[in-house]
Amino acid sequence: MHEKFLEYLAHERRYSIHTIKSYQTDLIQLRDYLAENYDGGDVIDVSFDQLRSWMVYLVESGISSRSISRKISSVKSLFKWAKRYEGVEVDPTRKLTLPKVAKRLPVYVEEEQMDYILDAAKFPSDFEGIRDRLIVEMFYQTGIRCSELISLETKKIDFHQNVIKVLGKRNKERIIPVGDEIFDLIREYQMRKDELEHIEDTKYLFLTKKGVKMYPKLVYSIVNNYLREVSTLRKKSPHVLRHTFATHMLNRGADLNAIKELLGHTSLAATQVYTHNSIDQLKDVHRNAHPSGREER
């Protein structure tokens, strides 16, 4: 039955391929565990005791609490769907207690480090250099996701209103204001793009030097290349620049709800995680500026 559930996620909920793959992996792992330890059976027939046994197995296997919680959430979502659409009455996940997950704070790059990265002299003046600088600037100044940047269409750039229109998760469009500096860079980049010998994917803003749409691995490589000059963070991905955008905005007094809208979050809870970074900065300011804070301890 879980195959029908995955089809529902794809066609009704319009989840991404990667999200559906995660659900599929979790459910197949449970199915394989049942086959090995309880003579098989459909995942939808799993009992509370069997789920508890699976959780113990996952813990003993060294799986992190975060990963276990995600796997159980996948099973919970399956039964929620099954009760609503398939007439299943018993939900063995209802009384399951999920393991406590330590809150993981978003990592970000310091403002001084970003200033160093965005020094125009660091970027070549050819097509790829201008494009790469624009990519880093776009992530940092707008907080958009990698998938949103790759899919950004040229017609969504509004030079009159100084905004870009981004198509986010579940095909929800949002409007993000952008400064004059980045629009000047977009104009410079477009002139360089027009000089390419061949352009295949004409509607997209960001292209490779072969004139085709950018792809995630290339964007990651570009961002990683510049972040590693200044950052010792283990992760140096485009998402780190999204975290950096939100943290710097909050540190400089931006309203949390405004940041939520700019990031395209559906829930304020997802945005509130950045307040922890902001509080840490305030503590540093207090420790360095207040007379008692500077005393040696």
Nearest to 128 by CA among 219, 202, 203: 219
φ, ψ for residue 49, nearest 5 deg: -65, -40
Residues known to be catalytic: 145, 169, 239, 242, 265, 274
The DSSP code sequence of 8-28 is: HHHHTS---HHHHHHHHHHHH
CA–CA dist 114, 251 (Å, integer)? 15
SS3 of residue 130 by DSSP: helix
CA–CA dist 73, 23 (Å, integer)? 9
φ, ψ for residue 245, nearest 5 deg: -55, -50
